[in-house]
Structure 1
Amino acid sequence: MTFQLDHLLTTTFTLFAVIDIVGSIPLLISLKDKMGGIRSTQATLISGLLMILFLFAGEAFLKILGLDIRSFAVGGSVVIFLLGLEMVLGHEIFKGDKDAKSGSVVPIAFPIIAGSGTLTTVMSLKANFEELYILSGILINLIVVYIVLKSLKVIEKALGPAGLLAVRKFFGVILLAIAVKIFSSNIAAFGK
């Protein structure tokens, strides 16, 4: 097998766009404040484990639970929608329990980093690319995720309170749109 750089770039950038860690910065900062911190290493490792698990056993796992990818995507879209609504309206929907341990897993590792969109994308990429490229794309994205999670304080200082509020509301609307898109493209299957 000859290594093809274009395959690696395609899988890496597809996952980068779906994970959208840069777009999640305002949400992550608000969750960090609410939970009293984010365990960057834990969140990165768990989200990476979920992506790798779904790469090799995703469809089989969902079948065991009696679920399909569409049901999984609809469930994830509801959580993403509520997070977006919270960002836009400024009302707390997810109550902070000041526990960085549990918060680093839900909602940060899942569904923000390794959400239904990411996990579905990982399984979809298998149709066109070899597992080595997808695995490499996942690892590159995990490095970016870790750097962003570790740099939240610096990013927060650079933006300032007004900048943070503006970016938070903007990306809240983006999250709402993504949630609606995931929901509408998957809910149609239930009527059939």
Structure 2
Amino acid sequence: MREYWDAFVMLFIVLDSVGNIPIFYALTGSMKEWERRRVFAKSVLIASTLLVFFTLFGYSFFTYYNVTFTDFKIAGGILLLLLALEGLVGRVEAETLRSEDLAVVPMATPLLAGPGSIYVVMYLNSVYGTLPTLASIALNTLIAYAILSGSHHIIGKVGKNTVLVLARIFSLLLAVLAVSMIRSGLEDALREVLSRG
């Protein structure tokens, strides 16, 4: 059960549904309630489909091109660190994005199923296995839909500033995870170099 819990927590932090509330609210604020729910459902469905696809086939594709798991840990850790720093500094540019279909771009991708979460599901699949990863995707996307569907009420209750503070906390936790991945990847790379010597 530990692997299920770890997979869930890690993906929950990276998806950052709470941190996305202000952005999603800004993008859909002019819509009626039923329209927002439809857009949220579509974006979550598309995001979960992308994450499942990369869970099952993403790592195999990259290993075909001789990309090692060590490479993935280092590159993915750097990517997550950049996303975390972006979250800590602010993501106001995302609030200005507009699209003919908001559910696809930018909501499903890159805000939910972005490079960071895609990397994470591939990482989780390699470390914990397919079932914990798929269970994490299913549970996290359901939670994301519930949170985003209630974003209007959440902001009304706690205020936008509180949501932004929570978003910064999740970004800090993401930065810690990212540094841990980078360190682990560098340690693996060093061991590989020493073993060859």
TM-score above 0.5: yes
Q: What is the Cα deviation at residue 160 of structure 1?
A: 0.6
| 1:105 pairs with one of 88, 106, 109 | 109
Query: In structure 2, what is the equivalent of residue 80 of structure 1?
Result: 80
Letter of the 1:75 partner, please give it: A
Q: What is the Cα deviation at residue 33 of structure 1?
A: 5.2
Change in 2 beyond 3 A, CA 1:62/1:187: same
Counterpart Cα distance in 2 of 1:137 and 1:11 = 10
1:147-184 alpha-carbon deviations (Å, 9 max, x no partner): 22322332222321331232233223222222222222
Query: In structure 2, what is the equivalent of residue 29 of structure 1?
Result: 21
Query: In structure 1, what is the equivalent of residue 9 of structure 2?
Result: 17
Query: Number of residues paired by the alignment?
Result: 178
TM-score using structure 1 length: 0.70
Q: Report sequence identity in percent.
A: 19
Q: What is the Cα deviation at residue 19 of structure 1?
A: 1.0
Counterpart Cα distance in 2 of 1:133 and 1:170 = 25
Counterpart Cα distance in 1 of 2:155 and 2:188 = 41
SS of equivalent to 2:114: helix
Contact 1:51/1:122 (8 A) holds in 2: no
Contact 2:12/2:140 (8 A) holds in 1: no
Contact 2:80/2:175 (8 A) holds in 1: yes
The gaps in structure 2 that reach 5 residues or longer are 29-35
Contact 1:70/1:186 (8 A) holds in 2: yes
Query: In structure 1, what is the equivalent of residue 68 of structure 2?
Result: 68
Letter of the 1:120 partner, please give it: Y
1:68-94 alpha-carbon deviations (Å, 9 max, x no partner): 233333333333323322332347576
Q: What is the Cα deviation at residue 135 of structure 1?
A: 4.0
Contact 1:82/1:93 (8 A) holds in 2: no
Query: In structure 1, what is the equivalent of residue 31 of structure 2?
Result: none
Q: Summarize the alignment of residues 3-152 of structure 1 with structure 2, pairs less than 5 Å apart.
A: 9-20=1-12, 24-32=16-24, 36-37=27-28, 39-90=39-90, 96-99=96-99, 100=102, 101-103=104-106, 104-111=108-115, 114-126=117-129, 135-152=134-151
Q: What is the Cα deviation at residue 139 of structure 1?
A: 2.8
Q: What is the Cα deviation at residue 132 of structure 1?
A: 5.5
Q: Aligned-pair RMSD on alpha carbons?
A: 3.3
Contact 1:21/1:145 (8 A) holds in 2: no
Counterpart Cα distance in 2 of 1:119 and 1:166 = 29
SS of equivalent to 1:115: helix
Greater fraction of residues in helix = 2
Letter of the 2:59 partner, please give it: E
SS of equivalent to 1:97: coil
Counterpart Cα distance in 1 of 2:126 and 2:92 = 33
The gaps in structure 1 that reach 5 residues or longer are 1-8
TM-score using structure 2 length: 0.68
Change in 2 beyond 3 A, CA 1:144/1:76: same
Query: In structure 2, what is the equivalent of residue 5 of structure 1?
Result: none
Change in 2 beyond 3 A, CA 1:23/1:57: closer
Contact 2:15/2:113 (8 A) holds in 1: no
Counterpart Cα distance in 2 of 1:118 and 1:185 = 17
